[in-house]
């Protein structure tokens, strides 16, 4: 199955914490996690099962409304994945 991203909770207010869970990625691989209108740009590493968990605090001045979190694709591995 293709990789997936899940954001918990799915609605977050500024200054609150959200958790981003990725599953189905290549094992033990550095992945580039970006989004939140440019506020998020981090490297995360999947574990031996291709899973990662990243906790992020939404900045107080984050604009309200829908936004996207994505793991950038890797050539010959997988396409970009977003939530």
Work out the average pLDDT over 59-72. Answer: 85
For 47, the token pair is: 């574990």
CB 7 within 8 A of CB 19: yes
Q: Is the predicted pLDDT of residue 4 greater than 90, yes or no?
A: yes
- Percent of the residues in the chain that have a pLDDT greater than 90, as a whole number: 55
Question: Distances in Å between the alpha carbon of 15 and those of 19, 20, 59?
Answer: 13, 16, 5
Work out the average pLDDT over 36-62. Answer: 91
Question: Residue length, the chain?
Answer: 83
Task: Report how far residue 18's alpha carbon sits from residue 42's, in angstroms, rounded to the nearest whole number.
Answer: 15
pLDDT at 26: 94
Task: Report how far residue 1's alpha carbon sits from residue 29's, in angstroms, rounded to the nearest whole number.
Answer: 17
Q: Is the predicted pLDDT of residue 37 greater than 90, yes or no?
A: no
């Amino acid at each position: 199955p293709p990789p997936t991203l899940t954001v918990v909770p799915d609605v977050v207010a500024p200054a609150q914490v959200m958790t981003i869970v990725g599953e189905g990625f290549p094992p033990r691989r550095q992945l580039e996690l970006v989004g939140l209108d440019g506020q998020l740009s981090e490297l995360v590493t999947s574990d031996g099962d291709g899973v990662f968990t990243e906790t992020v605090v939404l900045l107080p001045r984050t604009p309200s409304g829908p936004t996207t979190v994505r793991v950038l694709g890797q050539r010959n591995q997988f396409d970009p994945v977003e939530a």
